[in-house]
């Protein structure tokens, strides 16, 4: 630095570290504030803000270079500028709550920023309170709200949310990610005239309105064209409607004439019927006179035939009586034949019965002889009663043993039923526990399907591995209390929660080859430490931490297999992470001072404590503990183990009972066999003991039966004699019946012959009668025909008379005439032009109706709609013309607004392109900035395209987050901001550590450009933050260097002598 002059600075020492901001400035002939632009920062005061206890920064009007090592507090100044000017915490991407920016251990902090303004400087003060995360705002010493501050900042054209003006360290990478549209809007806001962005927004709105108007015009034009087309189509229908009406008029006239023609036709027909009726009456009288002789002769023949018919009826009655008598005699004869056959059959049955009786007597005698022989044998056997008694006693003992055995079996069965019920209950408990595991597995499948697929493969192929292989950690971890699941799930990343754990590394490699390489699944796997860490003790006993509210370590909150627990202890130190309660949260400032505590949990938050290796300064960050999603489903492992043990014990007892029941069953089977043997023996003994008595009873019974059969013999000779007598009596009766039958048959034959003679006489008379009847019938048929014809003609005359009256009435009615009125002359004239016969009228009427029916789907409403639509078309034409005129006028307004926006924008982009190209050319590179658009009318699609080239062999490529390297993106971003700097609309720009990715050559070139550009009198204030500088850089007198120092052994700020430090540096330089 050349000719550095010290400026006053206020600072208070920190308790553990010292922070200093030294300020260098340039000498100028003008006043101190003459070179500041409207809205430039004059000073920044920070109290209890991030790393500062109290510090005041006084930047210069041009380039301000803030230099310091990492962690000294450079970016804290950037944060102070953003938050002090009502910026959002999201711009900084450091913390979502403003209270996080207050220095650790303090209840509140404050920022004060003074901005240059020609009418009087603006002083903004923001006081941040940690407890409620609220801010108190003051503007020029008066309390106000944040909205007032935002409006004041906006009036000075300060935009801390615009990356073209304010580029914090965390947002450097996002500049290249900005779309062309976003870059254009940021550039307009940053360097364009105030009205440029407003015109752009208006044009977007105008374009939307223009589209709506165009759509409205298109819609009305479309509707108008459709109406015209519809009317054009309906015009033909209207013509057809009138054509149909002409045919309908002719049909009406034909229908009016038709009744008159029908009346005239009916009248003529009536006259002819009258003449025909009179002729029929004369013919009927002549026919009736010719029929009288035939009727007299027919009556005489009928009188001769009646006595013969009477005699024939008497003969028929006598023949029937003789036939009935013959039938009765024949029936009696049949009964006598049957009676003789029955007598013979009875004799045969008696003979057969006599033979059977002799056979039974012979068999009975043989049976008696056998029984006597068997009885003689049985009489020699000893007494069997003692043996029977002994068998009975043994059977009673067996019954007693069996009863005892049945009681024991009943007890065992009851015990077995109880055990089965207990086993079912235990299985239900195990099933419920397993269902909880299934729920966890389903959550894994929904969240990461590849891991679930790999899990299914592992379960089917577990035999392929030689060591222990554990399913994903989230499935094998079992929380002892589901309330604590949120801590474990927050502490262990989901990447590891879904990981498979392997005891052996070769098993892990085999698994990954299969599921990742062959099955193409994205899974995670880990190997457990070679030496188990699952029992590793914590660095401090939990009892020593209870005073802070800690009650356990994470490891004690869950169970897991040894390999899984070993990995979690090794990787996540779950054995050394304490968990506290609300007391811990209340004492958090004291707790984080404790050594060995790196990660800890309170009721709802996680705290991470980091200690600087150099200054031993403590940095903490806290995040909220979110509710658990996977591990809150818990199964008590000890309870599950006890249930499984109880199940095994119950199964063993059940097996023992089954064995005892089988043994008892075998004993019962043995007793049953012995019981059956004894019963069989007893039966045989009883049979032997009662056999003699049974033989004696059978012998006496058989002898008595033999005596009865011998005494009940049949006298066969007597029966044969009685049979002969019965047959003789029956034959005698049969002879008398046959004689009577013959007499009746002769009488019936005689009566039949007499009837035949009478029938021949009756047939002759009947033939003569039939001939006379036919002659009379022929004559009477003619009479009836003529009589019917007369009646028919009379009825027809009456009908025709009525029809003529009806047709006359109908004809006058259709012509709308009075009953006594004559046919008008106009109708007579019209009727004279139409046919005069009904056939011709009907033919013409059918033809006209057919023609009229061809015009289907027509009605009067078609004509009405056609006329109505004609009126609508006229109105639509007027409306469309008005809309087109309005659209033309609106487009003219858009064109004017476009000229006011696009022409300045093109000039602005050309200026940026010139500066940007010059900067790149000075670096032996190439760069272009142009206005990008696809359609001039799509104002929301306009954007700025940046294209750069860093090598002679390559082409210009668009600046993207992917094509260029990090250093190339940083250079491009910096030079674009410098191109904007010379246009000088915004009061200041901030760029934080953008040179980190640059190589030394590009960094030196960019630095020269920044110094040359930002130190011009026409440019605005510029803040350039960097942790390092290259040697032998070119500096300008107009720039200000702000050095930020921080360290445990640094002098307090009030003891710092900048002039003495400069003198020592110059002496050292002169000596070397």
Cβ atoms of residues 510 and 533 within 8 Å = no
Of the two residues 847 and 1047, the one the predictor is more confident about is 847
φ, ψ at 255 (rounded to 5°): -65, -30
Taking residue 153's Cβ as centre, other Cβ atoms within 10 Å add up to 22
**Residue 170: its pLDDT value, please?**
59
* C-alpha pair distances (Å), 1046 with each of 22, 610, 1028: 11, 17, 15
Q: d(Cα 817, Cα 611) in Å, to the nearest integer?
A: 124
Please, are residues 540 and 573 in contact by the beta-carbon 8 Å criterion?
A: no
Give the confidence band of 632 by pLDDT, cuts at 50, 70, 90: confident
Confidence of residue 17 (pLDDT cuts 50, 70, 90): very low
DSSP H helices in 577-634: 582-586, 588-591
Rounded (5°) CA angle 715-720-721: 105
- Is the pLDDT reported for residue 781 higher than 90? no
Tokens of 83: 């938050």
Res 578: pLDDT: 93
Distance CA 507, CA 464 (A): 8
Are the CB atoms for 437 and 477 separated by under 8 Å?
no
In terms of average pLDDT, the best of 358-367, 645-654, 684-693, 976-985 is 645-654
- Rounded Cα distance between 541 and 488, Å, is 20
Q: How far is CA 557 from the centre of its chain?
A: 39
Whether the pLDDT of residue 273 is over 70: the answer is yes
Beta pairing class for 1040-1047 and 63-67: parallel
Work out the burial of residue 261: count CB atoms within 10 Å of its CB; fewer than 13 is exposed, 13-18 middle, 19 or more buried.
buried
Chain position carrying tokens 């310091």: 68
CB 41 within 8 A of CB 988: yes
629-644 mean pLDDT: 72
Q: Map residue 537 onto helix, strand or coil.
A: coil
* Rounded CA separation 1019/1007 (Å): 16
How does residue 4 score in pLDDT terms, banded at 50, 70 and 90? very low
Cβ distance 876 to 220 under 8 Å? yes
Query: Which pLDDT does position 614 carry in this prediction?
Result: 56
**Confidence category of residue 564, pLDDT binned at 50, 70, 90:** very high
**Beta-sheet strand order (sheet of 926-932):** 926-932, 943-949, 957-958
In which region does residue 93 sit, left (phi positive, over 0), alpha (psi from -120 to 50) or beta (all else)?
Answer: left
**Do residues 814 and 259 lie in contact, with contact meaning Cβ atoms separated by under 8 Å?**
yes
Percent over 90 (pLDDT), the chain: 5
Q: How far apart are CA 166 and CA 168, in angstroms?
A: 6
C-alpha to C-alpha distance for 1036 and 1020, rounded to whole angstroms: 15
User: Going by C-beta distance under 8 Å and a sequence separation of 6 or more, which residues neighbour residue 111?
Assistant: 44, 45, 46, 47, 49, 80, 83, 84, 125, 126, 128
For 21, counting Cβ atoms within 10 Å of its Cβ (0-12 exposed, 13-18 middle, 19+ buried), the class is buried
Residues 779 and 486: their CA atoms lie apart, in Å, by 127
Angstrom distances, CA of residue 540 to CA of 19, 550, 601: 34, 12, 16
Return the SS3 of 70: coil
* Strand 558-559 versus strand 988-992 pairing type: unpaired
The pLDDT confidence band at residue 175, using thresholds 50, 70 and 90, is low
Angle at CA of residue 962, ends 959 and 966, nearest 5°: 80
Confidence (pLDDT) at 552: 92
Nearest to 26 by CA among 791, 975, 849, 1042: 1042
Q: For residues 197 and 659, which has the higher predicted lDDT (pLDDT)?
A: 659
pLDDT band at 569 (very low <50, low <70, confident <90, very high): very high
For the residues of 708-771, what is the DSSP string, one character each?
HHHHS---HHHHHHHHHHHHHHHHHHHHHHHHHHHHHHHHHHHHHHHHHHHHHHHHHHHHHHHH
Of residues 796 and 127, the one with the higher pLDDT is 127
> For the ranges 557-571, 655-669, 842-856, which has the lowest average pLDDT?
842-856
Q: Give residue 457's pLDDT.
A: 93
Q: Would you say 12 and 49 are in contact if contact means Cβ atoms under 8 Å apart?
A: no
Report the pLDDT averaged over residues 629-635. 73
Q: Is residue 440 a contact partner of residue 497, using CB atoms and an 8 Å limit?
A: no
Q: What is the pLDDT of residue 31?
A: 44
Q: What's the full length of the chain, in residues?
A: 1072
Distance CA 496, CA 487 (A): 15
When pLDDT is averaged across residues 103-121 and rounded to a whole number, the result is: 87
Q: Residue 27 above 50 pLDDT? A: no
Predicted confidence band at 28 (pLDDT cuts at 50, 70, 90)? very low
Cα separation of 423 and 427, whole Å?
6
Which of 280-284, 390-394, 534-538: highest mean pLDDT? 534-538
Tokens of residue 1055, six digits: 């003891």
The yes-or-no verdict on residue 579 having pLDDT over 90 is yes
Q: What is the predicted pLDDT for the residue at 172?
A: 59
In the chain, % of residues over pLDDT 70:
87
Token pair, residue 148, equals 């007032």
How many Cβ atoms are within 10 Å of 126's Cβ, its own excluded?
22
- Which burial class, exposed, middle or buried, applies to 139 when counting CB atoms under 10 A from its CB (0-12, 13-18, 19+)? middle
DSSP string for 623-640: EE-PPPSSTTS---HHHH
Q: From the centroid of its chain, how far is CA 569?
A: 43
Confidence tier at 689 by pLDDT (50, 70, 90): low
Tokens 């007027």 belong to residue: 878
Report CA dihedral (634, 637, 638, 642) to the nearest 10 degrees. 110
Closest C-alpha among 423, 399, 413 to residue 662: 413
pLDDT tens, position by position, 474-488:
888 888 888 888 899
CA distance 72 to 93: 19
Phi first, then psi: what are they for 608, rounded to 5°? -115, 125
User: Which of 138-142, 199-203, 575-579 has the weakest average pLDDT?
Assistant: 199-203
Is the pLDDT score of 501 beyond 90?
Answer: yes
pLDDT at 266 over 50: yes
pLDDT at 18 over 50: no
Task: Give residue 868's pLDDT.
Answer: 77
Give the span between the Cα atoms of 660 and 415, in whole angstroms. Answer: 12
Residue 373: both structure tokens together = 């022989």
CA–CA distance, 311 with 871 (Å, rounded to integer): 109
Element (H, E) at 383: none
Q: Phi and psi of 551, rounded to 5°? A: -125, -10
Radius of gyration of the chain (CA): 67
Q: What does the pLDDT average to over 84-97? A: 77
Mean pLDDT of the chain: 78
pTM over 0.75: no
The model's pLDDT over 720-762, given as tens digits with 9 standing for 90+, comes to 777 788 778 877 877 887 888 788 788 878 878 877 777 777 7
Looking at residue 484, what DSSP letter applies? G
Contact yes or no for 85/124 (Cβ under 8 A): yes
What is the C-alpha separation between 797 and 128, in angstroms, rounded?
124
The DSSP letter of residue 102 is: B
> Is the pLDDT assigned to residue 22 strictly greater than 50?
no
For residue 648, the SS3 value is: helix
Q: In the numeric block, which tokens belong to residue 402?
A: 């069996």
Question: Tokens 């040697």 map to which residue?
Answer: 1031
In 3D space, the residue among 163, 164, 179 whose CA is nearest the CA of residue 961 turns out to be 179
The greatest distance separating any two alpha carbons of the chain, rounded to the nearest whole angstrom, comes to 192
Copy the structure tokens of residue 687. Answer: 């049979």
Residue 10 CB partners (closer than 8 Å, separation 6+): 45, 54, 55, 56
Residue 653 structure tokens = 């007892």
């Amino acid at each position: 630095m050349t000719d550095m002059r010290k400026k006053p600075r206020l600072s208070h020492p920190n308790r553990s570290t010292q922070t200093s901001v030294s300020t260098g400035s340039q000498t100028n002939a003008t006043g101190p504030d003459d070179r500041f632009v409207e809205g430039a920062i004059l000073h920044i005061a920070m109290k209890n803000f991030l790393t500062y206890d109290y510090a005041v920064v006084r930047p210069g009007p041009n380039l301000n270079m803030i230099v310091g090592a990492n962690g000294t507090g450079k970016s804290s100044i950037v944060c102070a500028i953003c938050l002090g000017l009502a910026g959002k915490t999201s711009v900084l991407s450091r913390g979502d709550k403003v209270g996080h920016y207050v220095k650790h251990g303090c209840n509140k902090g404050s920022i004060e920023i003074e901005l240059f303004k020609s009418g009087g400087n603006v002083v903004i003060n923001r006081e941040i309170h940690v407890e409620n995360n609220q801010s108190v705002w003051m503007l020029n010493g008066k309390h106000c709200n944040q909205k007032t501050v935002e409006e004041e900042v906006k009036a000075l054209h300060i935009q801390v949310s615009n990356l073209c003006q304010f580029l914090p360290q965390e947002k450097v990478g996002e500049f290249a990610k900005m779309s062309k549209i976003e870059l254009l809007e940021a550039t307009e806001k940053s360097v364009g005239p105030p009205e440029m962005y407003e015109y752009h927004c208006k044009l977007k709105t105008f374009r939307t309105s223009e589209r709506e108007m165009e759509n409205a015009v298109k819609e009305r034009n479309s509707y108008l064209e459709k109406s015209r087309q519809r009317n054009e189509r309906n015009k033909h229908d209207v013509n057809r409607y009138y054509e149909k009406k002409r045919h309908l008029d002719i049909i009406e006239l034909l229908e009016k004439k038709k009744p008159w023609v029908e009346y005239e036709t009916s009248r003529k027909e009536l006259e002819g019927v009258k003449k025909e009726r009179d002729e029929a009456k004369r013919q009927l009288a002549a026919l009736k006179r010719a029929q009288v002789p035939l009727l007299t002769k027919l009556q005489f023949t009928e009188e001769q035939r009646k006595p013969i018919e009477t005699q024939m009826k008497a003969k028929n009655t006598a023949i029937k009586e003789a036939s009935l008598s013959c039938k009765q005699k024949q029936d009696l004869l049949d009964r006598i034949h049957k009676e003789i056959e029955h007598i013979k059959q009875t004799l045969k049955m008696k003979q057969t019965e006599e033979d059977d009786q002799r056979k039974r007597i012979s068999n009975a005698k043989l049976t008696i002889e056998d029984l006597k022989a068997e009885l003689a044998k049985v009489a020699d056997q000893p007494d069997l009663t003692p043996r029977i008694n002994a068998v009975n006693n043994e059977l009673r003992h067996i019954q007693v043993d069996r009863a005892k055995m049945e009681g024991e079996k009943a007890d065992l069965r009851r015990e077995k039923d109880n055990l089965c019920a207990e086993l079912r209950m235990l299985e239900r408990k195990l099933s419920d526990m397993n269902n909880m595991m299934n729920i966890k597995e389903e959550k894994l499948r929904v969240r990461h399907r590849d891991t679930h697929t790999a899990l299914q493969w592992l379960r089917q192929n577990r035999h392929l591995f030689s060591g222990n292989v554990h399913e994903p950690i989230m499935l094998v971890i079992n929380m002892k209390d589901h309330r604590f699941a949120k801590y474990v799930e927050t502490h262990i990343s989901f990447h590891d929660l879904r990981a498979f754990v392997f005891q052996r590394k070769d098993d892990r490699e085999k698994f990954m080859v299969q599921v990742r390489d062959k099955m193409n699944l994205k899974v995670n796997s880990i190997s457990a430490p070679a030496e188990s860490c699952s029992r590793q003790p914590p660095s401090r006993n939990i009892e020593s931490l209870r005073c802070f509210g800690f009650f356990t370590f994470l490891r004690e909150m869950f169970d897991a297999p040894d390999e899984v627990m070993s990995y979690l202890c090794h990787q996540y130190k779950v054995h050394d992470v304490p968990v506290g309660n609300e007391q811990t949260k209340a004492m958090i400032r004291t707790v984080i001072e404790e050594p060995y505590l790196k990660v800890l949990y309170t009721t709802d938050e996680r705290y991470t404590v980091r200690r600087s290796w150099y200054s031993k300064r403590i940095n903490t960050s806290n995040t909220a503990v979110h509710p658990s999603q996977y591990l809150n489903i818990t199964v008590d492992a000890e309870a599950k183990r006890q249930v499984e043990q109880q199940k095994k014990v119950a199964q063993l007892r059940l097996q023992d009972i089954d064995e005892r029941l089988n043994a008892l069953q075998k004993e019962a089977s043995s007793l049953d066999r012995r019981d059956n043997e004894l019963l069989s023996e007893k039966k045989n003994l009883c049979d032997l003991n009662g056999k003699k008595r049974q033989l004696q009873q059978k012998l006496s019974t058989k002898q008595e039966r033999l005596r009865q059969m011998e005494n009940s013999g049949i006298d066969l000779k007597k029966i044969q004699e009685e049979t002969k007598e019965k047959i003789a009596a029956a034959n005698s009766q049969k002879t008398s019946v046959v004689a009577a039958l013959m007499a009746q048959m002769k009488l019936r034959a005689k009566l039949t012959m007499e009837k035949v003679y009478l029938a021949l006489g009756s047939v002759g008379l009947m033939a003569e009668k039939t001939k006379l009847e036919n002659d009379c019938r022929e004559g009477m048929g003619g009479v009836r025909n003529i009589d019917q014809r007369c009646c028919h003609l009379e009825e027809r005359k009456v009908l025709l008379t009525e029809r003529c009256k009806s047709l006359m009435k109908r004809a006058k009615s259709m012509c709308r005439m009075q009953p006594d009125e004559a046919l008008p002359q106009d109708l007579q004239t019209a009727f004279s032009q139409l046919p005069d016969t009904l056939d011709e009228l009907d033919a013409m009427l059918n033809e006209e109706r057919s023609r009229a029916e061809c015009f289907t789907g027509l009605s009067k409403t078609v004509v009405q709609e056609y006329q109505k639509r004609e009126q609508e078309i006229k109105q639509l034409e007027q409306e469309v013309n008005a809309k087109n005129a309005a659209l033309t006028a609106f487009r003219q307004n858009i064109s004017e607004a476009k000229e006011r926006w696009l022409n300045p924008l093109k000039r602005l982009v050309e200026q940026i392109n010139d500066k940007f190209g010059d900067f790149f050319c000075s670096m032996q590179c190439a760069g272009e900035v142009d206005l990008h658009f696809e359609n001039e009318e799509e104002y929301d699609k306009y954007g700025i395209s940046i294209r750069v080239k860093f090598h002679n062999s390559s082409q210009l490529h668009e600046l993207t987050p992917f094509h260029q390297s990090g250093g190339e993106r940083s250079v491009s971003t910096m030079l674009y901001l410098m191109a904007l700097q010379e246009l000088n609309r915004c009061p200041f720009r901030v760029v934080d550590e953008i040179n980190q990715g640059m190589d030394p050559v590009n960094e030196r070139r960019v630095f020269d450009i920044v110094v040359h550009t930002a130190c011009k009198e026409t440019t605005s204030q510029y803040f350039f933050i960097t942790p390092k500088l290259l040697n032998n850089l070119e500096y300008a007198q107009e720039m200000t260097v702000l050095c930020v120092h921080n360290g445990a052994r640094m002098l307090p700020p009030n003891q710092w002598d900048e002039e003495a430090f400069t003198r020592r540096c110059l002496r050292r330089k002169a000596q070397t």
